[in-house]
Structure 1
């Protein structure tokens, strides 16, 4: 009898962990694809912001709003860091908390970075993790009180490139199926790209390009990851934010993507600020920039009437 009680308690605890707020789940519960065993270790460091480097086991961290305030929407969050690290709180968990306060479920993606020696085809790894993270979120929609048709993504800088890559390559088979979750659509329902790296061509962020593709990539690979060239009529509606004086990721990245969206008749909004530089996150310390999160919320709320 005691064993039965303990077993029931453990089952209850396990279910509770899967449904509770701020849950961390592995993206790949079985075998992590495109990976080799090495002596490399993941690095977690804090200097003003929390950074992860050399991610070994990709995860999603699930932040759920209180049920009474939940509106059924969700967003996956891809922090930036030049494909060299993840600015995990500044462009990840801080954003999740903001979204939760608006009734939106938030899923922070700790994806692998292509500068790790534990990888085989490093350039494919971020997209593999992003596709799987989206499928996991959609597969858990009922459990997490999410509408499976209102799941968006938001990415910052190199995380914006990963988000745009997911938004333009969601249908491509980049890893072998592991379970039924991989039958679920990886298409985001909408995208928000904040000072994003978009192109791998002339106006790219060279650090992100070098980390993702190496210093001498083929022309074919450069074009594959230049997301302005991969926009189609099925690309999700997109919200873009950039500052004119961004010296790290030129504003032309957002302009290229916006023009491609327009050419394919995809719903798009572009906000360009005169100043703000790069990496401003939620923009809390700038009188103009601090309004962009609210503009995003207004845009998301308008999607149903425009689609």
Structure 2
């Protein structure tokens, strides 16, 4: 009986260690760029979905498919929340688990949200974490059974803005290198954007714009983070999906980005749905809208 109990405890400990190993800090030894020590604390709350705010210690949460099912592809996932919170399971871990079902590694990025209290140059902080996240995943590619040239990203709403920022500003130096990880490329190999904030011009999402670049940003700052203006021939192939009746982030955001991709000769696929509103995630209860996931998987297959 004692032996069985001891064995059970060992198994539980191993399971706990394994579960903890799926979450990794982005930065080594707590050396977090643009971070200021403060009284600000991270908060988690349940509102039907897990809402995280005031992120202090950014991480990646790694979901790997079984080796036999793995395609070698991975996607970093950037949950939305207007740069004020993260809809962490709804547009994060739920997406990762879904990707695993298609043999794709899903890696949720818990990125820092802009803060006047705990950061310097808050407008750069989400991009700093995004660049580090993709470099870190690339550094782990072999041990995670991932191909280093098959690492994509997906972002939703403001997370879509961050993803499109990474896809267009991946070469921008926004922090000083800390280790060998930072020598790796931050360019995504492909990019999927769900009802994304793209522009900080007329058809923007006011909350995301205010939270990232402030109440009265300069025209230069607005242009810098209007990502339809930052597309080049080197921007990764992109998949876009949006609902026409989105009342929070106008569908024009996706249209602007698609046109910019087309103008620069970048491969792009876009699916615009007549209904769906904003923030529909997997849309699992909508027989028509939920098809976006299959369309994305077909698109990823076309890139192979």
Distance 1:21 1:28, change over 3 A: closer
Aligned counterparts, 1:27-66, within 5 A: 27-30=26-29, 31-66=31-66
Distance in 2, Cα, partners of 1:282 & 1:253: 20
RMSD of aligned residue pairs (Cα, Å)? 1.4
In 2, Cα distance between equivalents of 1:271 and 1:248: 18
2:181 is aligned to 181
Cα distance per residue 1:187-228 (max 9 Å; x no partner): 000000000000011000000000000010011111000000
Distance in 2, matches of 1:44 and 1:116, equals 20
Shift of 1:79: 0.1
Aligned-residue offset at 1:22: 6.8
User: What TM-score does the superposition give when structure 2 sets the normalisation length?
Assistant: 0.93
| Cα offset, 1:270, TM superposition | 0.6
Q: Partner of 2:260 in structure 1?
A: 260
For 1:24, the equivalent position in structure 2 comes to: 23
What's the counterpart of residue 193 of structure 1? 193
Matched positions, count: 289
State the 4+ residue runs in structure 1 displaced beyond 3 angstroms: none
The separation in 2 between residues aligned to 1:220 and 1:178, in whole angstroms, is 29
| Secondary structure of 2:258's aligned partner | helix
Question: Do the aligned partners of 1:232 and 1:264 also contact (CA within 8 Å) in 2?
Answer: yes
Q: Which residue of 2 aligns with 1:133?
A: 133
The answer on 1:206 being equivalent to 2:195 is no
Query: Residues 22 and 64 of structure 1 are in contact (CA less than 8 Å); yes or no, is this contact kept in structure 2?
Result: no
Separation (CA, whole Å) in 2 of partners of 1:76 and 1:97:
12
SS in 2 for 1:211: helix
The answer as to whether partners of 1:83 and 1:115 remain within 8 angstroms in 2 is: no
Aligned partner of 1:9 in structure 2 is none
Aligned equivalents of 1:158, 1:176: Cα separation in 2: 25
Partner of 1:5: none
1:74-223 correspondence to structure 2 within 5 Å: 74-115=74-115, 117-223=117-223
CA-to-aligned-CA distance 1:249-276 (integer Å, 9 cap, x gap): 0000000000000000000001000000
- Inter-partner Cα distance in structure 1 for 2:20 and 2:288: 32
For 1:210 and 1:40, the matched residues in 2 are separated by: 20
Matches of 1:227 and 1:21, distance apart in 2? 36
Instruction: Identify unmatched segments of 5+ residues in structure 1.
Output: 1-12
Residues 79 and 91 in structure 1, CA contact (< 8 A), matched pair in contact too:
yes
Give ranges in structure 2 of 5+ residues lacking alignment.
1-13
* More moved, 20-29 vs 259-268: 20-29
Please name the residue that 1:299 is paired with: 299
Map Cα deviations across residues 99-146 of structure 1 (whole Å, 9 max, x no partner). Answer: 011100011000000035101110000000000000000010001000
When the two structures are superposed, what TM-score results if normalisation uses the length of structure 1? Answer: 0.92
